[in-house]
Structure 1
Amino acid sequence: MSQIVQFAEEEKYSLITLDDGKANAVSFVMLDQLNSALDQAEEAGKVVVITGRPSKFSAGFDLSVMSQGGEQVMKLVSGGADFAKRILQFPTPVVIAVTGHALAMGGIMLMTADYRIGIAGDYKLGLNEVAIGMSMPRFGVEIARSRLAPAHFELSVNCAYLYDAEGAVEAGYLDEAVESGQLMYRAVAIAEQLSGLNMEAHKNTKSRVRAPLLRALEEAMELDFAEGGGL
């Protein structure tokens, strides 16, 4: 099995890099390796920075699986939901440095992190499920309802509206946008700033803030599972 997710522990943060050489599709292999990297990051106990490959953060779920239908789709979507839930309640802050396009499950991943930085340019970010013939899973709907600006929620989920980095800041996918050469510099600066938090207090407070979302997410995941993936 090729290594498409890299883990590196730095002095004040852990770095997780996604690079499958293509679109960084969220596949079974990607999820397995991401969770393994998160295991290492949790053991390290530091702020986590997640980033992608040049011009691609993630194009979403692996379409070679999603086109099959049936049990494999349910398994992959459930794995994505579990991963999203894990990031939402991760014990240390999670920063995402968005290297390019982030679509569908890639867009959902942005909404799970504590701080998100994108780059200005001809990149698209958002939830394009209905544009490619997929109903939005309920778990994704609930995350978007909680994290997107109210004026952009239905436009994003129902109409698959996509944003550039500046628009994604307004919508709620990102916290800021920078020039491409500044992306990792800025991500590291934020990670180092967040490393000064008391991590126990951060974990406890985040669990209180996100408790309503996590309850809604549990119900949504049960309904998605009952419908065979919710698509």
Structure 2
Amino acid sequence: MIKALGRTKMAATVEITNDIALIRMDDGKANAINFEMIAALNAALDTAEAEAMAIVLAGREGRFSGGFDLNAFANLGADGVYKLLDAGAELLLRLYGGPLPVVAACTGHAIAMGVFILNACDTRIGAAGDYKIGANEAITGMQLPIFAMEISRDRLSSRHLTRALMQGFIYNPEGAVEAGYLDTLADPDRVEAKALVVAEQLAQLPGKAYSWNKKAIRKATLDRIRSSIGAHHKL
């Protein structure tokens, strides 16, 4: 059964098959991360954690996520922006420190918060092709929140941190593998299927050990992100 979550028709859906939860983001546009998308993803994760052994997080064709909703940023006011950043940080904590294996099916472009969500997934399968992947905050004049820096420091190659974060370099999929945004590539029409295969393999691992090891190995990063909530730019 497929459950649609969020006020828009396809903000996010979750489908459980053979103990694998396939969560798809699809707002019909850029898969912008706003309060509605975050609520829909959290609802999908509730279902996945109750009914599944592993998760695949996918976008729609050609688009994983374009990052935070800039229209929301423009209209929320300072307090609302910080609340949205808090909600985004909590989502990353849930993906990066949650009990289940999470495999990303990066179905296309992933920009800004889109790549931080990629970094929060355990294994990341990307679509080969003419897609853009990277953190563009340096280009758009935005300061990176602490959660973005910490999760990137944990997942990206140290050789690419300056280029990726300070200089806002946008990679193609092959470069994204080298930088550490992605782990491997597949043809665009095979990304989701490959991610499901990987999720099925990970679901065979002892779940309690996977959960404990995941939290233990990532504890320092999780703690730093958690302590930054409400103070995203206070170094």
Which TM-score band applies after superposition, normalised by the shorter structure? over 0.9
- For 1:5-84, list aligned pairs within 5 A: 5-68=12-75, 69-84=77-92
Aligned match of 1:95 = 103
* Preserved contact between residue 34 and residue 69 of structure 2 (Cα < 8 Å): yes
Structure 1 residues not aligned, in runs of 5+: none
1:60-86 residue CA offsets vs partner (Å, 9 max, x unmatched): 000011124411111111110000011
Alignment-mate amino acid for residue 27 of structure 2: D
- For 1:90-169, list aligned pairs within 5 A: 90-169=98-177
Alignment-mate amino acid for residue 2 of structure 1: T
> Which of structure 1's runs of 4+ aligned residues deviate more than 6 A?
none
SS in 2 for 1:145: helix
2-side partners of 1:113 and 1:216: how far apart? Answer: 18
1:178-201 residue CA offsets vs partner (Å, 9 max, x unmatched): 111221221111011111100100
SS in 2 for 1:110: helix
Out of 4, 8, 15, which is 1:2 matched to? Answer: 8
2-side partners of 1:89 and 1:207: how far apart? Answer: 5
* Preserved contact between residue 107 and residue 192 of structure 2 (Cα < 8 Å): no
Q: Does residue 211 of structure 1 match 2:219? A: yes
Q: CA shift at 1:154, angstroms?
A: 1.6
2-side partners of 1:137 and 1:184: how far apart? Answer: 30
2-side partners of 1:77 and 1:102: how far apart? Answer: 18
1-side partners of 2:135 and 2:69: how far apart? Answer: 15
1-side partners of 2:187 and 2:80: how far apart? Answer: 39
1:170-228 residue CA offsets vs partner (Å, 9 max, x unmatched): 1111110111122122111101111110010000011110011112212333431xx6x
2-side partners of 1:20 and 1:46: how far apart? Answer: 26
Kindly tell me the number of residue pairs found equivalent between the two proteins.
Answer: 226
Alignment-mate amino acid for residue 195 of structure 2: A
TM-score, normalised relative to structure 1: 0.94
TM-score, normalised relative to structure 2: 0.93
Percentage of matched positions with identical amino acids: 40
1-side partners of 2:22 and 2:201: how far apart? Answer: 15
2-side partners of 1:7 and 1:103: how far apart? Answer: 23
Alignment-mate amino acid for residue 116 of structure 2: I
2-side partners of 1:214 and 1:122: how far apart? Answer: 33
SS in 2 for 1:87: helix
CA RMSD after TM alignment? 1.2
* Preserved contact between residue 12 and residue 191 of structure 1 (Cα < 8 Å): no
Aligned match of 1:183 = 191
Aligned match of 2:201 = 193
